[in-house]
Amino acid sequence: MSVCSHCNSKISFMSVLNTPNPLRLKCTSCKSPIYIDKLSGGIAALIIIALSVFILFSFYGVDNFFFTVLIPVGLTAEFIYFMLIKTGLVKVKNNI
Ligand SMILES: [Zn+2]
């Protein structure tokens, strides 16, 4: 289980959703930065982004693209990344 190294609270989906940088989250409890391991996090982010872009291009031009494709794909991508962090496949740096 991945937790914040400062306050030990669980990393929430909101901290993944709210970050502009997938390798640097912000704890929703204590507001401390949570650093993600560059190797596992970088690989996961790249694969997820590549898949998302592929899906977005496949559906490009459909009606209501923003709501029917962009938002669901974006949320799914964030959720997959969150699950990878939660399960520990993507590691959190604990000693900063
Ligand atoms: Zn915290």
The pLDDT value recorded for residue 93 is 87
Confidence band of 3 (pLDDT split at 50, 70, 90): very high
Distance separating alpha carbons of residues 70 and 45, to the nearest angstrom:
17
Distance separating alpha carbons of residues 75 and 70, to the nearest angstrom:
9
Find the 33 Cα to ligand 1 centroid distance in Å. 8
Over residues 32-51, the mean pLDDT reads 96
Find the 44 Cα to ligand 1 centroid distance in Å. 23
State yes or no: pLDDT of 96 exceeds 60: no
Domain ranges of the chain: 13-87
State yes or no: pLDDT of 77 exceeds 80: yes
Find the 45 Cα to ligand 1 centroid distance in Å. 22
Phi, psi of 2 (to 5 degrees): -90, 130
State yes or no: pLDDT of 95 exceeds 90: no
- Length in residues, the chain: 96
Find the 34 Cα to ligand 1 centroid distance in Å. 8
State yes or no: pLDDT of 18 exceeds 60: yes
Find the 67 Cα to ligand 1 centroid distance in Å. 33
